[in-house]
Amino acid sequence: MSSRRTDWSDHYTRKAQAAGYEARSVFKLRELFRRVPEMPRSGRVIDLGCHPGSWSRYLLQIGFTRLLGVDLKQPRDYPGSFILADVADLEPTFLVEYLGGRADLLVSDMAPNTTGNHMTDHFRQVELVRLAIQLAAATLRPGGAFVSKVFDGSEAPSIQETLRGSFTTVKRFRPRATRKHSSEFFLVAIDLS
């Protein structure tokens, strides 16, 4: 019998299921909110790559009142408004109108279908982060915040520098719920100018 743990036996996966969340990633977002008290906790939020919906459920629970999720896959029982779309095809003005005004927060847990080749996966994921940053710049209110997953690699520093050009504070985190073998980390950008 193999000693390798499967997803269903993972501590965070079991904990998420017990709490009624669809995915363990909710604990990553929860930790980011705990570690960055300046993050907005109410108002409007856009959740890019929202499937299966755990981040969205958490955001509503902590006080956000208006939620718009976007993904290529329809989540089951989604708790807010949802658009089935490729982020590259979205018009920022449409998102702002759909949300009823500019967002206070934009979060992105987007990731490409991975190939197993670290460099390929890194570059593909960085392109998604760049799209998320463009949407954040066009849909966030002044003072708004941005959170994004990033696969670490050669382009990661340029992503941080891009954010520093538009936000007062940019922080890098690797939440405890991140799997040990994963190259992911999260960037939190506060106070859009």
Residue 2 lies in a domain: no
pLDDT value at position 5? 42
Residue 1 lies in a domain: no
Residue 157 lies in a domain: yes
Q: Which of 15, 28, 73, 149 is catalytic?
A: 149
pLDDT tens string for the chain (193 positions)? 334 444 445 765 676 566 666 666 888 999 999 999 999 999 999 999 999 998 999 999 999 999 999 999 999 999 999 999 999 999 999 999 999 999 999 999 999 999 999 999 999 999 999 999 999 999 999 999 999 999 999 999 999 999 999 999 999 999 988 888 889 999 999 999 9
73 SS3 class: coil
Q: Which residue in this structure is represented by tokens 């987007």?
A: 110
Q: Which residue in this structure is represented by tokens 């718009």?
A: 68
- Give the whole-angstrom CA distance, residue 104 versus residue 144: 5
DSSP single-letter state for residue 102: -
- Is 149 catalytic? The answer is yes
Residue 182 lies in a domain: yes
We report the CATH number of the domain holding residue 43 as 3.40.50.150
Query: What tens digit of pLDDT does each residue of 159-183 get?
Result: 999 999 999 999 999 998 888 888 9
Domain that holds residue 119: 7-192
Look up residue 72 and give its two tokens.
């290529």
The pTM (predicted TM-score) of the whole model is: 0.90
Q: How many domains are contained in the chain?
A: 1
